[in-house]
Amino acid sequence: MSLLHDPLHFDAATLHAARPGRVTLVGAGPGDPELLTVKAARLIGGAKVVLHDALVGRGVLELIPRTAHRIDVGKRSGHHKLSQDGIIELMIRLARSGHELLRLKGGDPYVFGRGGEEAQALAEAGIPFEVVPGVSAAQGAGACAGIPLTHRDHATEVVCVTGHLRDGPDGTRTLDLDWPRLARPQQTVVVYMGVAALPLICERLIAHGLSADTPAALVERATLPEQRCVAGTLETLPALALVQAVKPPALLVVGTVVSLQPVLARAMALAA
């Protein structure tokens, strides 16, 4: 059942509940339904009202009962079905109407999923809620592409950032990140939503001290059957991504751990 055409409409009898319903923020993982936690799979299978994001895997969505009210509130670059404020307003309205609501988010709700904002709003509104963690996109991309995020010989820490371009005061599009921090050696840098800003990211990392030969890779549609990994260096990856027509969703991974990818990926392919 879908409420996509009028997601704010519910039967009038439900709009005056004696007590608010409960909201569960559930991490759907990076796409493969077999990577769901046991708890997440159980909650999805018993859901009655589901608000889901665009990046939730198709196989995960298929686990939602056919009898459930399913509301697509997905946001992609330049295409938002509802604003973030609109999503929060809808969640609070449904919960205050007494609905048991499952908020299904790609990856982990608290890792670049804006789950923290939603949880904060629910707390301020007095709505009871729970958070169920999921495998993050970075974890899924690294494991399935053959790129360990940490390794004693390569990286002792991981830094995750978002690569959203923003409009600067002069009309140019900028990316305000701590570039000296990101350009340190012996670490892995994972950039979410960085495909559009890839040339700028690579340029800035080189300008702040990383070698142009630093291994870097884009992992597109991680954990799904159509997953692919385009690997190169900070110098070569922007051109490779253009030639290979890499599209979101894709994660950028930078660091010498990426040099392990060809060997590990081949070994995993043999074991499949």
Q: Which residues are tagged catalytic? A: 53, 75
CA distance 194 to 218: 9
Question: How buried is residue 269: exposed, middle or buried, by Cβ count under 10 Å (0-12/13-18/19+)?
Answer: exposed
> With 0-12 CB in 10 A as exposed, 13-18 as middle and 19+ as buried, what is 116?
middle
Residue type present at position 42: R
- 3-class DSSP assignment, residue 131: strand
Q: How far apart (Å, rounded) are the C-alpha atoms in residues 145 and 188? A: 15
The rounded distance, in Å, linking the Cα atoms of 105 and 89 is 17
H or E element that contains 216: strand 215-220
Contact indicator for 36, 28 with CB cutoff of 8 Å:
yes
Half-sphere exposure of 187 (CA within 13 A, CB side): 15
Question: Using an 8 Å Cβ cutoff, are 237 and 202 in contact?
Answer: yes
52 closest CA partner among 114, 117, 103: 103
Conformational region of residue 81, where left means phi above 0, alpha means psi within -120 to 50, and beta covers everything else: alpha
Residue 229 carries which DSSP code? Answer: E
